[in-house]
């Protein structure tokens, strides 16, 4: 069966115009149609490799000897014990954002680093790594693929021929992934992962809460993170409650 049939039918049936659909809701609501359209781990890694490479082509990457790159190296040094093959770089842009893909590709925007301290950036990156470790980014890539297929952005290439996708097709898929929305339950789980990871590494856990408080001061037009990471103040309080409770 062609790649378009099941993904397109699943998306059209579940949520008309599903671009930007909530990852968890679409995953849970899809039933057998979505299951049939689900990409394998190998497929997801292939798409993540291609998507990250395409995003790297479209953005300016901070050189290794830049202040941003050195700061990110310091940030990542406090995020060990993940068991994941992480590859972190900085995009030089005023946008305030960060994301990670299932293949361990981590990208942090310089706008976020300008806005937050290294400890706060570490908390945010830990959160993004949490989405990878907990399988959320795999689901997001599956949904991005389904959405792009339903919108006719991927042509007629079959799943077995993902390497045949054009640069523009991969670009559309990558943009859909980066703009994906996670559920509040997934966000809380990723927050807790970051908190636990910071604990394992003896890092500043309070900085995770302060990062959320700072981002709550921005409106959705200034930070693309805020459109996909709701409830910053509530999330800050959750972290502060964990700190107060010693858990």
Residues serving a catalytic function are: 128
Query: Where does residue 145 fall: left (phi above 0), alpha (psi -120 to 50 degrees), or beta otherwise?
Result: alpha
Contacts of 5 (CB under 8 A, 6+ apart): none
Contact 148, 173 (CB under 8 A): yes
Strand 98-100 to 105-109 pairing: antiparallel
Tokens of 116: 């937050």
| Residues 79-96 as b or e (16 or more Cβ within 10 Å = b) | beebeeebebbbbbeeeb
Task: Give all strands (DSSP E) within 26-157, no chain letters.
Answer: 87-91, 98-100, 105-109
CA distance 146 to 220: 26
């Amino acid at each position: 069966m062609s790649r378009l049939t099941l993904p397109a039918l699943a998306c059209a049936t579940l949520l008309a115009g599903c671009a930007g659909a909530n990852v968890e809701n679409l995953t849970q609501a899809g039933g057998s149609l979505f299951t049939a359209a689900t990409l394998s781990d190998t497929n997801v890694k292939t798409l993540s490799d291609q998507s990250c490479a395409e995003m790297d082509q479209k953005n300016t990457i901070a050189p290794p000897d830049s202040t941003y790159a050195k700061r990110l190296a310091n940030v990542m040094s406090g995020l060990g014990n993940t068991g994941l093959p992480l590859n972190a770089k900085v995009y030089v842009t005023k946008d305030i954002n960060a994301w990670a893909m299932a293949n361990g590709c981590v990208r942090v925007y310089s706008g976020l680093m300008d806005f937050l301290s290294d400890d706060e950036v570490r908390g945010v990156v830990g959160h993004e790594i949490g989405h990878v470790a907990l399988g959320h980014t795999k689901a997001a890539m599956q949904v991005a693929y389904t959405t792009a297929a339903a919108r006719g952005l991927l042509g007629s290439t079959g799943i077995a021929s993902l390497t045949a996708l054009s640069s523009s097709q991969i670009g559309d898929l990558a943009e859909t992934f980066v703009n994906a929305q996670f559920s509040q339950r997934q966000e809380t789980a990723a927050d807790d992962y970051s908190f636990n990871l910071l604990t394992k590494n003896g890092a500043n856990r309070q900085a995770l809460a302060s990062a959320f408080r700072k981002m709550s001061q921005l409106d959705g037009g200034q930070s693309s993170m805020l459109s996909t990471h709701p409830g910053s103040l509530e999330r800050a309080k959750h972290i502060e409650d964990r700190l107060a409770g010693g858990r």
